[in-house]
Amino acid sequence: MIVVGGSSSRDLSKELATLLNCKFVQASTTRFPDGECYTRIDTDSLDDDVTIVQNTYPDGNLVEMFLLQDAVKKMGARTVTLVIPYFGYARQDRVFKPGEPESAKVMARHLGIMCDRVITIDIHKESILDYFDCPHVDLKAAAAIAEYFKDKKIDKVLSPDVGAAGRAKDVADRMGVPYGYLDKTRLSGSEVKISEAKMDCEGQRILIVDDMISTGGTIVAAKQVLKEAGAESVSVACTHGVFVNNALERLTGNDLGAVLCCNTLENEVSNISVAEIIADAINRKW
Ligand code: R5P
């Protein structure tokens, strides 16, 4: 096995190769003066099973992934496994208004042309993976999040909405604490309304778990509601820290607690590693 790290996932790919005890090659990716992507895998041969670790977000990283797929094939890769820690366009998984494309399907179909296996982490909709004709699996970051917080004195794990309650339960069960969920209504792309917390939060140390933080609107509203409900502290963990615009500053400017995310997207708060979860999946026969 050889792990090739794309530019979006330098630390994660290196850690993965260490766990798999295999050769690691970091792709050298730059931009031409006109902005087009240039990438090169500087090694003699990739005559082995190759795993590429690269996000398909933002668009520049998607292009890099396409180029890496071609480059590893040309260097002799016997099989190609794509590890896509954060699968871009997953929220555009259907036609909401006539005339729109099925963006997630388009991406999966094109990425699937040159690969033998696909691994994603907490993809927005698992059904998107069915657009790949090869074996695929969506891994859950819950174990990594629970492991990180197990010694951090958390009384309860909450999800900001009922849709993500299963993830909160998974984390809570692993930590041996109760779980619950809040009631969220989306008002616009960046604004949400969260109703008054119906569970007891007085004096409690709460951990909010979500699949992603994008604008931060959800977490800002959830923290406010929990503060009003008397929570002693509110920590936040998500799988994908997208943090558009100044979302991270908006969130960490609040003094209630920490915001952390997994290293599916690498940034200054991506301290929770999913490398072990990916290594376990790669080592399984499937
Ligand atoms: C919603 O389906 C997701 O689980 C997240 O709660 C949402 O995408 C977060 O977005 P934002 O940070 O923009 O509120």
Give the tens place of pLDDT for each residue, 56-83.
Answer: 999 999 999 999 999 999 999 999 999 9
215 Cα: distance to centroid of ligand 1 (angstroms): 8
Which tokens sit at 160?
Answer: 């900001």
Rounded mean pLDDT of 179-184? 96
Ligand 1 contact via 241 beta carbon (within 6 Å): no
Does residue 253 have a pLDDT over 80? no
Mean pLDDT of the chain: 95
- What proportion of the chain, given as a percentage, has pLDDT over 70? 99
pLDDT of residue 254: 55
pLDDT of residue 197: 87
SS3 label, residue 170:
helix
DSSP-derived letter for residue 257 is: -
Look at residue 154 and tell me if it is in a domain: yes
Q: Are residues 245 and 146 in the same domain?
A: yes
Contact 274, 263 (CB under 8 A): yes
Residues 6+ apart with CB under 8 A from 270: 241, 260, 261, 262, 263, 264
Number of domains in the chain: 2
pLDDT digits (tens, 9 = 90+) for 125-141: 999 999 999 999 999 99
Look at residue 134 and tell me if it is in a domain: yes
Using alpha carbons, select from 30, 136, 39 the residue that is nearest to residue 80.
Answer: 136
Measured from the Cα of 160, ligand 1's closest atom is: 6
pLDDT of residue 258: 80
Number of H helices, E strands in the chain: 8, 15
241 Cα: distance to centroid of ligand 1 (angstroms): 10
Does residue 255 have a pLDDT over 70? no
- Indicate which residue of 74, 184, 193, 223 is catalytic: 184
Ligand 1 contact via 212 beta carbon (within 6 Å): yes
pLDDT of residue 39: 98
Place of tokens 């990739």: 46
Q: Are residues 18 and 65 in the same domain?
A: yes
Ligand 1 contact via 164 beta carbon (within 6 Å): yes
Ligand 1 contact via 217 beta carbon (within 6 Å): yes
C-alpha–C-alpha distance, residues 43 and 122, integer Å: 32
Atom 10 (ligand 1): residue with closest C-alpha? 214
Q: Are residues 13 and 59 in the same domain?
A: yes
Burial class (CB in 10 A: 0-12, 13-18, 19+), 101: exposed
CATH classification at residue 86? 3.40.50.2020
DSSP-derived letter for residue 180 is: E
pLDDT digits (tens, 9 = 90+) for 152-177: 999 999 999 999 999 999 999 999 99
Q: Is 153 a catalytic residue?
A: no
Rounded mean pLDDT of 255-262? 79
pLDDT of residue 283: 95
Look at residue 162 and tell me if it is in a domain: yes
Look at residue 30 and tell me if it is in a domain: yes
- What proportion of the chain, given as a percentage, has pLDDT over 90? 92
Q: Are strands 79-84 and 205-213 parallel, antiparallel or unpaired?
A: unpaired
Contact 55, 93 (CB under 8 A): no
pLDDT of residue 106: 98
List helix spans (H) across 176-235. 217-228
Rounded mean pLDDT of 168-188? 96
Look at residue 48 and tell me if it is in a domain: yes
Q: Are residues 179 and 113 in the same domain?
A: no
Look at residue 267 and tell me if it is in a domain: no
Least confident of 53-57, 128-132, 253-257: 253-257
Q: Are residues 35 and 133 in the same domain?
A: yes
Least confident of 19-23, 28-32, 145-149, 217-221: 217-221
Q: In the structure, what pLDDT confidence band is assigned to residue 53 with cuts at 50, 70 and 90?
A: very high
Measured from the Cα of 190, ligand 1's closest atom is: 13
pLDDT of residue 257: 60
Domain that holds residue 130: 2-140+274-283
Q: Are residues 184 and 201 in the same domain?
A: yes
216 Cα: distance to centroid of ligand 1 (angstroms): 7
Sign, Cα dihedral of 94, 99, 100, 105: positive
Q: In the structure, what pLDDT confidence band is assigned to residue 285 with cuts at 50, 70 and 90?
A: confident
Q: Are residues 35 and 130 in the same domain?
A: yes
Look at residue 91 and tell me if it is in a domain: yes
C-alpha–C-alpha distance, residues 278 and 284, integer Å: 10
Q: Are residues 83 and 183 in the same domain?
A: no
